[in-house]
Structure 1
Amino acid sequence: MTSYAFYRSVTDQSRQSVFFEAWGVPDTIGGRFDMLIAHAILLFRRLKKIEGARAEEAAVRSQAFSDLMFKDLDRALRETGVSDRNVPKRLKTLATAYLGRGQAFGEALDSGDEKALAEAIERNAGGIVFGADKAPSADEPSSYTVNALALARYLQAADKTLADQDDDAVLDGELVWPMNPHHVAA
């Protein structure tokens, strides 16, 4: 089923070591969630661009992927010890984070401005992704800013890589991501 191919591709790509080892994304539940969501946003953006006779199919597959992703997040929360009573609250928080990031990242990706995307990353995921308590000052860029810029460049490249793929291949779950995220962001 395509939703499983989508999910496997998104999770595999979101676990690339460069995110955690070079760009300061903590190898924690929060950091992994942020990378999963960033890649899911890119896939959802690509599926929404499919038009014509296959647009409805893309919408159905997009929803199936979303359902699978949140079902797996539900399972993961339970496995980490979140009580049955608190799982729905946590899922609502995660869904809200996803929707907010989807809008902010989408607008920044549409603008083509890597600094706007880096700012959206810092604003929406910075505390979780980079472990920062506050945004860096404009006078001295911190590693937080450098990491956000690297991630922004990578997300732009991944968005373009997905956009350049054939609709049929995408709908079949044959997703291609940038092979070396570290090289893309340099």
Structure 2
Amino acid sequence: MGLSALFRRKPHERAGFLLYGAAVAAARHPYFFDRLGAPDSLDGRFDLVGLHVALLIHRLRRDADARGAALAQAVFDAMFADMDVNLREMGVGDLAVGKRVRRMWEAFHGRAQAYEAALEAADAEAFAAALQRNVWRSEGEASPAARRLAGHARATAAALAAQPLAPLLRGEVRFPDPVPGPEEPADAA
């Protein structure tokens, strides 16, 4: 292997980072924190980023073109490269970073499986219950906020599914803005 191979980018790496950045931006929408009461904490932000990334990966993996799955892997890689950098910037020691990233990966994987199962089954209640458990860290009946977030997630999944692969391969994606519920003022977002 030549020296240039060490510095060569992986296929879809740039697009993966761009798509991941768009998912992070969508997850930081003030509506989730101000109106839905999602915890504005490291865990709360991780859960909302994880939700948006899981929806994006779900869309990419379902594409008939094999590049969709490769791009999904690039988004996943970008997410966990970013988590590694963020932990280091927060002062987590080198020896602990790997363990923390692994726990984050396991948490993300479990959440993504629950969200995907609910999407595939078109089970709005299961989706809301998974969000209640993961975002708000509580069991039992889903809150109105968890139901609204589940509705937004299902709408986001549909919007992502409607987007062709070509722009996604360039790192271009459109996440819909959250729409306030009927009991919320229209300017809530």
TM superposition score category, shorter chain reference: 0.7 to 0.9
Deviation by residue 1:38-90 (Cα, 9 ceiling, x = unmatched)? 00001101111111xx31x2222222221121011011111122221111111
Q: 2:112 aligns with which of 78, 84, 102?
A: 102
Moved over 4 A (4+): none
The reply on whether 1:35 has 2:48 as its aligned counterpart is yes
Deviates more, 1:13-22 or 1:3-12: 3-12
Q: 2:81 aligns with which of 42, 66, 71?
A: 71
TM-score (norm 1): 0.84
What does residue 113 of structure 1 align with? 123
Distance in 2 between the 1:160 and 1:170 partners? 15
Q: What amino acid is aligned across from residue 40 of structure 1 in structure 2?
A: V
What does residue 179 of structure 2 align with? 182
Gapped regions of structure 1 (runs ≥ 5)? 139-143
What does residue 150 of structure 2 align with? 152
TM-score (norm 2): 0.83
Deviation by residue 1:111-161 (Cα, 9 ceiling, x = unmatched)? 1121110112223x1xxx22x5x424x5xxxxx611111110010000000
What does residue 61 of structure 2 align with? 48
What does residue 141 of structure 1 align with? none
Number of matched pairs: 169
Gapped regions of structure 2 (runs ≥ 5)? 1-13, 183-189
Contact 2:68–2:165 (CA<8 Å) still a contact in 1?
no
What does residue 82 of structure 1 align with? 92
SS at match of 1:148: helix
Note the aligned Cα RMSD (angstroms). Answer: 1.6
What does residue 135 of structure 1 align with? 139
What does residue 3 of structure 2 align with? none
Contact 2:55–2:157 (CA<8 Å) still a contact in 1?
yes
The reply on whether 1:21 has 2:31 as its aligned counterpart is no
Distance in 2 between the 1:6 and 1:44 partners? 10
Larger radius of gyration: 2
What does residue 60 of structure 1 align with? 70
Distance in 2 between the 1:116 and 1:40 partners? 19
Distance in 1 between the 2:139 and 2:59 partners? 30
